[in-house]
Amino acid sequence: MKEKALNRKMIKPNVLLLWDADLKLKRHLAQKAGSRVNLIFMDKRSENKKEELYRNADAVIGWRADKELLMSAGKLRLFINPGTGIKHHIETFRELNKVRKVKLVNGHGHSYATAQHAIAMLLALTNRVVMHHNWMQSGVWRTSDDKDVFSASVLLKNRRIGLLGYGAINSKVHRFLSGFSNSFNICKRRLSPLTPAKQTDASGNPVCLYSYEDLHEFLKNSDILIIAVPHTEKTENMIGARELRQLGKNSLLVNVARGKIVNEKALYNALEKNLIGGAAIDVWYNYSPAKDSKGREYPFSHKFHKLSNIVMSPHRAASPFDDLERWDEVIENLNRLADGKRNFINEVDLTAEY
């Protein structure tokens, strides 16, 4: 009996990756987890045996999965989505978990890069970097502030920075901005009743905590809003016309979460009518835009590209995508799987959608 138990322990879990990773990543995963699990990479040659690969997988890693094949994967215990966006998985895994328990996990390995990108966009916005860059490219040389075109920089010091969501990304944003002499408002889904609402951070900056129920008070007390909340049923259109008015005319908005957290029409109107001071946006509304007559693609239905008070980025906050450290959480979860553990990093609550 002891020998049989030992043999069971020695069987390595099959881990199916739904893409043919580059050699650098394959070597990294093999070095860090290959002795504990069988790593199987989906490529063109394995297309005709996809059903068999799913059926024999103990874990699957990927951004998109075939629902029917997931339902037939009888050994499956764990699905790892390497990024934070998991809304497209929720209904599938709710249905799957009625049949058998499969853990859905998301990833925060790109949180440092995303936080850095949020800060970069904010500074580009406050210092009018894009505007002045474009002028210089056109041969327009100027050194003074022009009030008619709002070319003056905006100082960050003494601003009230509102962090909507306080997970892996915005907690790093807070740390990066803590040296700019600001106060911070933090609004998140759950607050511990034992946590004081007012405190100071490690740099001595004032910090005030709010729950989602206090969103409007949080917005009234913030003039720079940085959004890093998950896209769920509750957060979709969380920021609309009313909320943008509450931020005020001198406010700035940075969104590195999902486009639909902020109502598209309301955001455009607020920028066009100068109801807010400006926005820096990395996430959009239509990820399959039709090309116009000149072959241009715009991932929105309002003319954000015609506005001067916006910095636009094509959903690239997670760059560089070849950073191997971003896979550390995935590797830890694979080692837990190999150890027979049932708890994993970043397990998704299917009820809360995150």
For 164, the 3-state DSSP assignment is strand
Q: What average pLDDT does range 253-259 have in this prediction? A: 98
pLDDT tier for residue 5 given thresholds of 50, 70 and 90: very low
Residue 144 has pLDDT above 90, yes or no: no
Domain ranges across the chain: 2-109+321-338, 111-312
Q: Note the helical H segments in 11-143.
A: 23-33, 50-55, 67-72, 90-99, 111-126, 129-137
Give the residue-averaged pLDDT of 206-226. 97
Is the pLDDT at 328 greater than 50, yes or no?
yes
Rounded average pLDDT over 186-213: 92
End-to-end Cα, the chain, rounded Å: 42
27-58 pLDDT, tens digit per residue, is: 999 999 999 999 999 998 888 899 999 999 99
Which of the residue ranges 186-200, 274-288, 295-309 would you say has the lowest mean pLDDT?
A: 186-200
Residue 4 has pLDDT above 50, yes or no: no
d(CA 124, CA 6): 59
pLDDT higher than 90, residue 162: yes
**Predicted confidence band at 215 (pLDDT cuts at 50, 70, 90)?**
very high
> What is the total residue count of the chain?
354
Class of domain 111-312: alpha beta
Asked whether this chain's domains 2-109+321-338 and 111-312 adopt the same fold, the reply is yes
Q: Could you read off the pLDDT of 264-291 as tens digits, one per residue?
A: 999 999 999 999 999 999 999 999 999 9
CA geometry: angle 200, 166, 252, nearest 5 deg = 85
The CATH architecture assigned to 2-109+321-338 reads: 3-Layer(aba) Sandwich (3.40)
What are the beta bridge partners of residue 254?
226, 280
What is the reported pTM?
0.93
The pLDDT of 123-129, averaged and rounded, is 96
